[in-house]
Structure 1
Amino acid sequence: MTVNLKKTIDLISEAQQLQWAMAFTAVVEEGSFTAAAQRMGVSKALLSRQVRQLEQALDAQLLYRTTRRLLLTDAGELYLGHCRDWLLRVQSARQALAELREEVAGRLRLTVPTSFGGVFMAQAMLALRQQYPALEVELDLSARPHDLEAEGFDLAIRANISPPERLVARPLAEVADWLVAAPAYLAGKVLPQVPAELAAHACLCNSHFSHGRQWAFHRDGELASVAVSAPLLANDYNLLRNFALQGAGIARLPSYLVAPDVAAGRLQRLLPQWHGRGQSLYLVYPQRLPQPARVRALVAFLQQWFAAPAQAALLGQA
């Protein structure tokens, strides 16, 4: 009986301290006891007493009180951080429980690299809406790295980047680069057998990359790098593909963009045993606690969809 009574007393004491902690947090956030009392719907005298009781229970002064303002002590700074964390956890728990009953619905805004989005996102988004018909999707295809939070985007697909700390980045897929050229360009020429022989060819380079004329490769642990001649440069993969289709030279392009051309014979793949750096693709989205149900559903869907055999083959992973 004595043990149970002690547990009951301890629980009451902890509940009181939680109430006092909320009062203390309100005072700090409002900057005065008067404003905090109005916010909480209690008297200023009660609020002041609760903060004093909290300080006594903690055996620490949390606030410096002057006639004009309130200042936090070092102990107050430390305790306030924990108070806010408690409140955030309570709010997150409440929202998480609410989202157990939430329908995956609402508007999603995505930003995706232009060429990648043109190949994959129509099929992907139609499949997403078939699974979640209450979703409304807005797609932005752009090479520009948008500020997701400032511009109101829910998610981005980005390549080879280190996202800001406030964003979450989850691996999506690895994209292989292929060397390709049109039969019209290769006619009468000696096909390159090793990367160094690319230096004798007209190569189509991406001017978006600072080292776009330096092509690096690896094969079974062996590394090779070659400075290529680039009579034509462009900062767009689709334009480089069109140059290659017209017989302008050898292009280094993402596999998903040229795999259908290779299969149809419009382009020929070169040095298939040598692998370029390729690209690592990530799902990047703002950090929220918890994530809205629609964003969680989108992330899970995209990871599963891009792991499917059809998409893996286009990405050069099959």
Structure 2
Amino acid sequence: MNPIEPLNQQLLAAITFAAVIEYGSFTAAAEKLGYTKGLASRRVAQLEKQLGVQLLFRTTRKLSLTEAGRVYLAHCQQWPQWIAQAEQAVHEASGQISGKIRITVPTSFGGTFMAEALIAFRRRYPAVQVELDLSREMRDLETDGFDLAIRSKPAAHERVIAIPIMNADDWLVASPALFTEKAAPQQLSELKEWPCIANSHFKNPLEWIFNDGADIVSIQSPLQINDHQLIRNLALAGAGIARLPSYLVAADIMQQRLVRLIENARANQNAFYLVYPPRTPQPAKVRAMIDFLKEWFVLPNEHVLKCKY
């Protein structure tokens, strides 16, 4: 007797068992697998005999799992993932990096940087698919199934690797049109004389803190918005003075759509990190994205120049 034959028989029986649960009946599973209903039933019965446990409760109307059946099914359901990983390993061994990567990035950061970054990454790795989630919420990487994140800070409770990739200060900016009748403020104390656009996402949005807390300015804000991009658009329209991350407004300042105010006032510095779960080994597609993003935010190209003021 071929020593592999019993293993083959058990594998066929396990596939049949998983199909019965997925499709809800022996009849439906047999149809999908190209068996007769009788053969499907015999294979599951043989599996139960070999394992020495009952996997299914059978009635004329319903099938349900026993506790042993739930445990066995959980392992069966991992097989497609194992097969996909084996296929991926073969591609990697042949030098081809492929597969799908899921990334979550803060909304304003992603809107500024990720279009160019993803296009450049796809040029280098055309067989890799990228699903990008833009969100202000801090996603749970493991639970939500993300391979990577870019965050302003890692969550303290998570077991992740966090690599700093860039820093960006907050700048005070406004449209030049705001200052046609009155000179722009030169001192922090003068900010209270101007309409400002507060970010209601933060605690105490009407207090702007500078110079490590040495200067706190109470602003007047007829508009309070919880989105950086909308605050930027309002500043461009001349609605008031805004405090925004440098990477979001640097291009506007270079093109003179906005002016930077009181440049010697140090505001909040935002550090951004590349965050990912520690996996051994790390899939090649994820390693490729990690290395690419680390390089992308270090090289002195135009996309990084926006953050280097």
Q: Which residue number in structure 2 is paired with residue 314 of structure 1?
A: 306
Return 5+ residue gaps in structure 1 as ranges: 1-37, 40-94
C-alpha displacement of 1:215: 1.4
Alignment TM-score, normalising by the size of structure 2: 0.66
Q: Does the residue aligned with 1:184 lie in a helix, a strand or coil?
A: helix
Q: Give structure 1 regions of 4+ aligned residues with deviation exceeding 3 angstroms.
A: 98-103, 160-163
- Partners of 2:154 and 2:162 within 8 A in 1: no
C-alpha displacement of 1:249: 0.5
- Partners of 1:160 and 1:281 within 8 A in 2: yes
Q: Which residue number in structure 2 is paired with residue 234 of structure 1?
A: 225
Mapped pair 1:155 → 2:121: no
C-alpha displacement of 1:222: 9.3
Mapped pair 1:195 → 2:188: yes
C-alpha displacement of 1:101: 5.9
Q: Which residue number in structure 1 is paired with residue 126 of structure 2?
A: 133
- Calculate the aligned-residue CA RMSD, in Å: 2.5
- Partners of 1:163 and 1:284 within 8 A in 2: no
Residues in 2 aligned to 1:196 and 1:162: alpha-carbon distance in whole angstroms: 36
Residues in 1 aligned to 2:187 and 2:177: alpha-carbon distance in whole angstroms: 21
Matched residue type, 1:291: Q
What does 1:81-120 align with in structure 2 at a 5 Å threshold? 103-120=96-113
What does 1:60-79 align with in structure 2 at a 5 Å threshold? none
Equivalent residue for 2:236, pick from 245, 250, 253: 245
C-alpha displacement of 1:196: 1.9
Equivalent residue for 2:175, pick from 179, 182, 187: 182
Residues in 2 aligned to 1:163 and 1:288: alpha-carbon distance in whole angstroms: 19
Residues in 1 aligned to 2:136 and 2:194: alpha-carbon distance in whole angstroms: 28
Farther off after superposition, 99-108 or 169-178? 99-108
Alignment TM-score, normalising by the size of structure 1: 0.65
Matched residue type, 2:144: E
- Partners of 1:106 and 1:134 within 8 A in 2: yes
Return 5+ residue gaps in structure 2 as ranges: 1-49, 52-87
C-alpha displacement of 1:214: 1.9
Residues in 2 aligned to 1:223 and 1:103: alpha-carbon distance in whole angstroms: 54
C-alpha displacement of 1:158: 0.8
| Cα 1:112–1:144 shift into 2, 3 Å | same
Q: Does the residue aligned with 1:265 lie in a helix, a strand or coil?
A: coil
Farther off after superposition, 231-240 or 259-268? 259-268
Equivalent residue for 1:255, pick from 236, 240, 246: 246
Residues in 2 aligned to 1:116 and 1:243: alpha-carbon distance in whole angstroms: 18
Q: Which residue number in structure 1 is paired with residue 272 of structure 2?
A: 281
What whole-Å deviation, never above 9, does each CA across 1:154-195 have from its counterpart, x for those lacking one? 111111343433222111110121111112222222322222
- Partners of 1:167 and 1:286 within 8 A in 2: yes
- Partners of 1:114 and 1:143 within 8 A in 2: yes
- Partners of 2:191 and 2:217 within 8 A in 1: yes
Q: Which residue number in structure 2 is paired with residue 214 of structure 1?
A: 207
What whole-Å deviation, never above 9, does each CA across 1:256-276 have from its counterpart, x for those lacking one? 221222122221110112221
What whole-Å deviation, never above 9, does each CA across 1:210-258 have from its counterpart, x for those lacking one? 132221222xx89322121211111101110111111110001112221
Identical residues among aligned pairs (%): 49
Residues in 2 aligned to 1:191 and 1:266: alpha-carbon distance in whole angstroms: 15
- Partners of 2:151 and 2:274 within 8 A in 1: yes
- Partners of 1:171 and 1:281 within 8 A in 2: yes
Q: Does the residue aligned with 1:176 lie in a helix, a strand or coil?
A: strand
Residues in 1 aligned to 2:101 and 2:159: alpha-carbon distance in whole angstroms: 19
**How many residues are paired up?**
223
- Partners of 2:101 and 2:130 within 8 A in 1: yes
